[in-house]
Structures are given as structure tokens and as C-alpha cells.
Amino acid sequence: MATARARLFISLAIAACFGAWLPAAHAGEVFPQSRPIRLVVGFTPGGAADTSARMVSRRMSEPLGGAGFVIENRPGAGGNVAAEIVARATPDGHTLFWGSVGPLSVSAALGVKLPYDVFRDFVPIGLAVTSCNILAARMAFKGDSLGDVLAQARARPGQINYATQGLGSTGYLAGELLRAMSGVELVQVPYKGGAQVVTSLIGGEVELAFVSVTALKGAGQGRIKPLAVTCGKRDPGVPAVPTFAESGVAGYDASFWYGLLAPRGTDAAVVVRLNAALTEALADKAVAQPLELQGLIAAASTPREFAALIRRDYEKWKQTFAGRKSAAQ
């Protein structure tokens, strides 16, 4: 992983070489000004989005000269409401979006009519954290690997079920990507939340489920069998669990993430400074380690790398749902 100093150098080089991508800074402007930075989060307090935004922004205030962050929770439409608020905000660096894959890649890929244009109305600042789901099985399931699941699903098409946190959830997306890449048909059983998913798996109501790392290490510890993680690389929180790609589905990567964005028109110098502060925060073990306890992996990037990730995920989910009616439509 690049150091904070190296990341800052890369960000400065990008701003210098690709001035057409980010507007030039106006001479004499000072950022941040003597008022707090408003960080809009598209989900309710207490969840992964909210807690990660608070932890990271608190540490970002130090390299920004002590600038305070005010978290504004604006849940609704899977994060799309918050995205619209930021897209329409004044581009002065004082209103930012703690964005996720849903409103930035999935919604557009599914053809949802949005009040903003993902690729026109935002300036990516940097990726912040990634997270994985884990495909787990009930203890009585006759198999200990993703390969066993695929073999049984092909032998009994449409007869093996799996629980998710609901239609459109990360578990649902992970299952749909598995269907698209492997050709197997599993039966999704949607629940209202992660706690119900784990309970249903422990109780034998379903054979499989997509669960979070924290759920596996919490209520599911010793009561469900982890088979594979959905990220392209192994999760440091459960390093012994192989990836889907290692388990027979080459190229599979259902990573989920949060990152920082600003409204279109935000000055290049502001973006560079925010990216440097974000990178420094994520490199701090006092931030990265508590994030890992919540199943989140610190993953700093340049603005250009984050923009490329948003585009890649858009294309991936668009292809995944091609010709299939989605839960979001």
C-alpha cells in the first residue's frame, strides 16, 4: 500500500497533468473556510456508512487545520437522496458526499431514473473503505466449499436457497453476480436485515446466506460455516476464508465500498487537499484498526483511481443484470 506521502505526490501530479478533468483553483481562495464541512451520508446513524464516515472525517480534520465535519444523515432510496443533495450543492468543498456503490454505480446500471448524473455531477476525491460479504452455510450443509455449492446447485437447479438482507442489498447483488458468472440458479430468500439472515441460517430455515464479517465473527461464530468471501482479495478480518475467484469462479469480485465525492465544479486544489487528508486518515492505525473490527478495509486511492472504480462497477452491474428484471425497477 502506498504511503500517505506517495499518495499526496500522485494526487498533485494528477492535478497538474489533468487540469481539464478538474477545474483550476482560483487564486486567493482559502480552503477550508471558517465554517464546518458538511458530510452527507445516505443512511441512518449507527450503520457502517455512518460510523465509517464519522471515524474517517474526525481524523481528516487534523491535516485540514482543525476544520470540523458535520455529519448529515439523509437516508432514502438506497443513498440516492443524499447523492442528489450533494449534486446540487455549492461546489466550494464544504458539502461532500460519503458515497457508496449503490447510488454511484448500481442504480444507474439498473436503469433507475435518477435526479443526477453520476459521471457528470460529481468530482471523485478518493476511495475510503471496502467491505466483503461471506457466503456461509448452515452447519448441517453437506459441503465445505463454494465448489460444493456449485456442484449441488447444478445437480439440483432451483432447489438450494440462500438468505440476503433484502432485494437490492449487497447480499442480493453478490448472489446475482454469482448467477451471472457461474450459470447456477439459487433461490433468494430476502429478509429485513442482517440479524434475521444469521438467525435463519443458524435455525436451518435456509441452506446458505450472504453475511457480513462482523456477523460471522459475532452471532455466527462456530454456528455457521464460512465458505468464501465476495471480494477479489481475501479479507484481513477472516484471512483463512478463500475468495470466490480462488474457489472456482474466476474474476468474481463483489466488493462494496464507501468513498468521498464533491459536487461538479469543485476546485482542483480543494480536491487535492481533501484527498491528501483522506489518505492520511486511512493510513492511521487508530482509524484503520477500528474500521477492520467492523468488517471495513481502509483503501485509499487517488481521485482518478476512484473515478475508474465507479465506472468499472457501473459496467459490471449493468452486465450482471442485462436482460433480467431487477429489484430496483
The domains of the chain, with CATH numbers, are: 4-131+255-320 (3.40.190.150), 133-229 (3.40.190.10)
**Confidence band for 207, pLDDT divided at 50, 70 and 90:** very high
Q: What is the pLDDT of residues 210-266, one digit of tens each?
A: 999 999 999 999 999 999 999 999 999 999 999 999 999 999 999 999 999 999 999
Query: What pLDDT is recorded for position 192?
Result: 86
Contact residues for 35 (Cβ-Cβ < 8 A; gap 6+):
94
Q: Do residues 114 and 107 touch, judged by C-beta distance below 8 A?
A: yes
Burial class (CB in 10 A: 0-12, 13-18, 19+), 133: buried
pLDDT value at 16 more than 70: no
**Confidence band for 209, pLDDT divided at 50, 70 and 90:** very high
Cell readout for 198 is 444469521
- Kindly report the pTM of this predicted structure: 0.86
Query: What pLDDT is recorded for position 168?
Result: 85
Question: How far apart are alpha carbons 190 and 162 in whole angstroms?
Answer: 8
Residue bearing the bigger pLDDT, 98 or 18: 98
Query: What pLDDT is recorded for position 82?
Result: 97
Question: How far apart are alpha carbons 114 and 117 in whole angstroms?
Answer: 7
Query: What pLDDT is recorded for position 30?
Result: 73
**Confidence band for 288, pLDDT divided at 50, 70 and 90:** very high
pLDDT value at 52 more than 90: yes
- Say what percent of the chain tops pLDDT 70: 89
Query: What pLDDT is recorded for position 167?
Result: 84
